[in-house]
């Protein structure tokens, strides 16, 4: 029907026709067929093929040879593709370098088709730039003869930007800068701009961090207004506020965090009851008491969405006065909290719970290492409480794993930095019982809070912020099954209980060299967890109801959940934000979370590159972590740094890329290298500017 309707309108390029007239032309009389026709007309309108005015449809202006899409620059501007947004053609359009005009990567453009050869890629020419993707660009100021120019950090921005001497704004050659007021009128000339901010000396870590933040649109400085508002808060908790809360200051409550943690937003407690059960408390910093809707701090934290944890540096969501002081659950200080207190059996079954605003006074700040030593040695401060919490945590984990929860392992590296911030050692972070203890307590609290908003419990749906995770796409699961089969593992993509199979595979590879790769491919096959007002459950955890409640110092959705929860418990839900506003917050927070993850990964990569810079010529052991038609990606086993072996450097044979079987094969020798293979490599070059690491393969792999 879609093809027939397109042909119908192509023969009537200027006519405006009602759906009933179209139905009459095709002899459609049955209601179901007419409904299908209207649905097809609606889809063609959404795609931009048709336009609708009132009840009449007509051919869209965009169905001519002029189409709109987003430019993707390839190979330093030698060519590009336009990813079409609307129109008849649902494919990418190839654009030769000479036809890219003055486009940057990511620009929205109008193109004209140059060829429509059947079975071949469409080719086009940019004829109009509709929207620039970059109003500001970060790069390094350089000079050639008497010309100043900025070399962009983002290598997809394929042209240097010239800067007139009077537009340097006191910047010096070698400075990392932000350039704005960019104009580019002719492809024969370079773009020009003005330096609007100096980030620091290029190559210094602070300048690189500022550059990462700028590139990913992450705010990294607080306004004077926000800082001034934060300074007004007193660290002393007034008696008038304590009297309104559950007073837990005499209880043994403690925090468990990484060695380098600056803010402590969760604490735990446990007490044995007379009936043999345990009262487990999860106490979360009550940021919502200090951050009110509409305030400067609220608006700023909403804009940031999350704290960003970079190597050796944090870009916080909240000003330091709140994040590291007033809201942080430091030892021996009265702190306002929101507590989830649950009665559990020794086996980890939740009997009952209560949620209350509280005040605590933490008795001890533990690190994960300290708690692990107590568990290993069987002695130490609060030994009984820590070991009991650990047993309950293990039971909680076993229960959720049995129900289909998937325990992904994403290896992380820890850097040892010298006084100047240079990396002198890299180690893979260990995930031990002490880490799992806290994780299980937080999962429990998050689940309990989400269940408070259950429609059954509230006689209807209440607007709320859920943490959701959709089921994986069938195609991606099939791909994953094919990949693990190539490594010798079995996975049935048609199984009714895929989550249990995922967990079995992850357990099978635990401790092997391919563990990180299998986990990474498994994670890639999953949907991305996001924030949403539409509760579809959390597939990865196997929870029907889940939210983020436990980190309001560093995540904005948690702060909102605190406010929604307080209104629910006090029967003031009419004060809640509308579902439309909450959905906007969810979407924005999900985007900011992805930006933060990208920034954190880039920060790690920069430090790995800096560490390897002095090790050119050294040999390393690694795993094949990716394959393309131009090279093999290698992840080093001890540092997790990823670099490439280019196929052109494999001079012993001509290698053919086999995408279907995750491998490359030598045409003459039959030598095969697969994803997940263990290899030995030599580091041959490190390019800090391009952020690239190059290896060559050794024969003894």
- Considering the domain boundaries, does residue 220 fall inside one? no
DSSP assignment of 602-640, as one string?
HHHHHHHHHHHGGGTT-EEEEEEEEE-SSEEEEEETTT-
Hey, how many other C-beta atoms are within 10 angstroms of the C-beta on 339?
A: 23
Contacts of 146 (CB under 8 A, 6+ apart): none
Q: Are residues 481 and 424 in the same domain?
A: no
What CATH number corresponds to the domain at position 168?
2.40.50.700
Identify the segments of the chain with pLDDT beneath 50.
62-65, 117-119
The Cα–Cα gap between 620 and 680 comes to 6
The Cα–Cα gap between 192 and 181 comes to 8
- Considering the domain boundaries, does residue 610 fall inside one? no
Q: Pick the last residue of a domain from 131, 165, 184.
A: 131
- Considering the domain boundaries, does residue 211 fall inside one? no
Residue 512 has what pLDDT? 81
The Cα–Cα gap between 373 and 182 comes to 57
What CATH number corresponds to the domain at position 39?
1.10.10.10
What CATH number corresponds to the domain at position 630?
2.40.50.140
Phi, psi of 227 (to 5 degrees): -65, -40
Q: Are residues 144 and 125 in the same domain?
A: no
CA distances from 566 to 473, 559, 562 (A): 37, 11, 6
Of 187, 186, 185, 167, whose CA–CA distance to 177 is shortest? Answer: 167
Coil, strand or helix: which one is 100? Answer: coil
CB burial of 6-39 (b: ≥16 within 10 Å; e: otherwise) equals bebbeeeeeeebebeebbeeeebeeeeebeebee
Pairing of strands 122-131, 92-96: parallel
Q: Are residues 587 and 444 in the same domain?
A: yes
Residue 119 has what pLDDT? 45
Q: Residues 410, 416, 421, 424: is their CA dihedral positive or negative?
A: negative
The Cα–Cα gap between 133 and 41 comes to 32
Q: Are residues 36 and 102 in the same domain?
A: no
- Considering the domain boundaries, does residue 604 fall inside one? no
Whose tokens are 């001079």? That residue is 651
Of 99, 97, 102, 98, whose CA–CA distance to 111 is shortest? Answer: 99
Helix (H), strand (E), coil (C) string for 334-392: EEEEEEEEEEECCCCCEEEEEEEEEEEECCEEEEHHHHHHHHHHCCCCCHHHHHHHHHH
Residue 117 has what pLDDT? 45
The Cα–Cα gap between 69 and 127 comes to 12
Structure tokens at 520: 């990474």
Q: Residues 21, 27, 29, 30: is their CA dihedral positive or negative?
A: negative
- Considering the domain boundaries, does residue 649 fall inside one? yes
Burial label for 559, CB within 10 Å (0-12, 13-18, 19+), is buried
Helix (H), strand (E), coil (C) string for 161-227: EEECHHHCCCCCCCEEEEEEEEECCCCCCCCEEEEEEEEEECCCHHHHHHHHHHHCCCCCCCCHHHH
Q: Pick the last residue of a domain from 12, 31, 62.
A: 62
Q: Pick the last residue of a domain from 22, 47, 62.
A: 62
Q: How many helices (H) and strands (E) does the chain have?
A: 17, 34
- Considering the domain boundaries, does residue 337 fall inside one? yes
Whole-angstrom distance between the N-terminal and C-terminal Cα of the chain?
56
Whose tokens are 């690189």? That residue is 208
Q: Are residues 167 and 266 in the same domain?
A: no
Structure tokens at 220: 């990294």
Spatial contact of 113 and 99, defined as CB atoms under 8 Å apart: no
Kindly report the CA angle at 419 between 415 and 424, in degrees rounded to 5? Answer: 35
Task: Name the pTM for this structure.
Answer: 0.80
Residue 47 has what pLDDT? 63
Q: Are residues 296 and 427 in the same domain?
A: yes
Q: Are residues 561 and 651 in the same domain?
A: no
CA distances from 245 to 157, 242, 271, 373, 558 (A): 55, 5, 20, 35, 20
What CATH number corresponds to the domain at position 117?
2.40.50.690
The Cα–Cα gap between 299 and 317 comes to 11
Domain count for the chain, please give it: 6
What count of residues does the chain have?
A: 701
**Domain range enclosing 193:** 137-202
Spatial contact of 194 and 165, defined as CB atoms under 8 Å apart: no
Spatial contact of 327 and 285, defined as CB atoms under 8 Å apart: yes
Q: Are residues 266 and 373 in the same domain?
A: yes
Burial label for 215, CB within 10 Å (0-12, 13-18, 19+), is buried
Distance of CA 258 to the CA centre of its chain: 21
The Cα–Cα gap between 286 and 272 comes to 26
Spatial contact of 517 and 623, defined as CB atoms under 8 Å apart: yes
Spatial contact of 387 and 278, defined as CB atoms under 8 Å apart: no
Q: Are residues 435 and 453 in the same domain?
A: yes
Q: Are residues 541 and 505 in the same domain?
A: no
DSSP assignment of 224-253, as one string?
HHHHHHHHTS-SSPPHHHHTTSEE-TTS--
The residues pairing with 697 across neighbouring beta strands, listed in sequence order, are 681
Q: Are residues 390 and 271 in the same domain?
A: yes
Of 290, 307, 289, 388, whose CA–CA distance to 347 is shortest? Answer: 388
Q: Are residues 421 and 346 in the same domain?
A: yes
- Considering the domain boundaries, does residue 289 fall inside one? yes
The Cα–Cα gap between 136 and 275 comes to 64
Spatial contact of 82 and 120, defined as CB atoms under 8 Å apart: no
- Considering the domain boundaries, does residue 416 fall inside one? yes
Instruction: Check residue 460 and report its DSSP letter.
Output: S
């Amino acid at each position: 029907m879609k093809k027939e309707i397109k042909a119908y309108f192509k023969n009537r390029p200027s006519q405006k026709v009602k759906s009933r007239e179209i139905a009459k032309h095709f002899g459609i009389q049955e209601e179901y067929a007419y409904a299908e026709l209207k649905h097809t007309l609606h889809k063609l309108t959404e795609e931009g093929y048709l336009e609708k005015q009132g009840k009449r449809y007509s051919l869209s202006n965009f169905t001519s040879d002029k189409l709109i899409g987003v430019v993707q620059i390839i190979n330093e501007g030698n060519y590009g593709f336009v990813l079409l947004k609307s129109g008849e053609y649902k494919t990418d359009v190839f654009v030769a370098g000479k036809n890219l005009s003055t486009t940057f990567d990511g620009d929205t453009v109008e193109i004209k088709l140059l060829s429509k050869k059947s079975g071949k890629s469409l080719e086009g020419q940019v004829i109009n730039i509709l929207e620039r993707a970059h109003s500001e660009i970060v790069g390094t100021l350089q000079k050639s003869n008497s010309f100043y120019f900025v070399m962009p950090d983002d290598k997809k921005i394929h042209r240097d930007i010239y800067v007139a001497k009077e537009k340097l704004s006191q910047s010096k050659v070698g400075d990392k800068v932000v350039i704005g007021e960019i104009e580019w009128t002719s492809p024969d000339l370079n773009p020009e701009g003005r330096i609007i901010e100096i980030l620091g000396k290029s190559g210094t870590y602070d300048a690189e961090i500022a550059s990462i933040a700028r590139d990913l649109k992450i705010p990294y400085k607080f306004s004077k207004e926000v800082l001034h508002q934060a300074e007004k808060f007193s660290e002393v908790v007034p008696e008038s506020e304590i009297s309104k809360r559950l007073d837990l200051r005499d209880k043994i409550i403690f925090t468990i965090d990484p060695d380098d943690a600056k803010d402590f937003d969760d604490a735990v407690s446990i007490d044995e009851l007379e009936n043999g059960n345990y009262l487990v408390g999860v106490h979360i910093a009550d940021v919502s008491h200090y951050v009110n809707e509409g305030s400067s701090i609220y608006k700023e934290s909403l804009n940031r969405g999350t704290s960003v944890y970079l190597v050796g540096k944090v870009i916080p969501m909240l000003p330091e006065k709140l994040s590291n002081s007033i809201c942080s659950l430091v030892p021996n200080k009265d702190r306002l909290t929101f507590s989830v207190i649950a009665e559990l059996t020794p086996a980890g079954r939740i009997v009952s719970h209560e949620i209350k605003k509280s005040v605590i006074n933490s008795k001890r700040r533990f690190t994960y290492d300290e708690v692990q030593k107590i568990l290993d040695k069987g002695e130490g401060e609060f030994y009984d409480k820590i070991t009991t919490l650990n047993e309950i945590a293990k039971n909680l984990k076993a229960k959720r794993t049995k129900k289909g929860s998937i325990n992904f392992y994403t290896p992380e590296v820890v850097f040892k930095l010298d006084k100047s911030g240079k990396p002198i050692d890299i180690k893979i972070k260990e995930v031990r019982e002490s880490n799992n203890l806290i994780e299980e307590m937080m999962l429990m609290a998050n689940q309990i809070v989400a269940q408070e908003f259950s429609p059954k419990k509230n006689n209807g749906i209440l607007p709320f912020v859920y943490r959701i995770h959709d089921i994986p796409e069938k195609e991606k699961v099939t791909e994953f099954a094919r990949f693990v089969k190539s490594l010798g593992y079995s996975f049935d993509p048609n199984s009714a209980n895929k989550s249990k199979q995922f967990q079995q595979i992850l357990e099978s590879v635990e401790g092997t060299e391919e563990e990180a790769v299998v986990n990474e491919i498994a994670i890639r096959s999953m949907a991305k967890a996001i924030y949403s007002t539409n509760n579809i459950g959390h597939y990865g955890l196997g929870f029907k109801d889940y939210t983020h409640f436990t980190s309001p110092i560093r995540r904005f959705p948690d702060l909102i959940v605190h406010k929604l929860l307080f209104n629910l418990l006090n029967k003031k839900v009419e004060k809640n934000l509308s579902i439309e506003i909450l959905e906007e917050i969810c979407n924005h927070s999900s985007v900011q979370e992805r930006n933060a993850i990208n920034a954190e990964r880039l920060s790690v990569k920069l430090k790995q590159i800096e560490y390897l810079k002095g090790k050119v010529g050294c040999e390393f052991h690694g795993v094949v972590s990716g394959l393309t038609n131009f090279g093999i990606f290698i992840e080093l086993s001890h540092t997790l740094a990823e670099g490439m072996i280019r196929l052109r450097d494999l001079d012993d044979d001509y290698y053919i890329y086999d995408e279907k079987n995750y491998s490359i094969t030598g045409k003459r020798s039959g030598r095969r290298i697969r994803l997940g293979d263990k290899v030995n490599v030599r580091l041959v070059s490190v390019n800090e500017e391009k952020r690239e690491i190059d290896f060559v393969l050794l024969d003894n792999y």
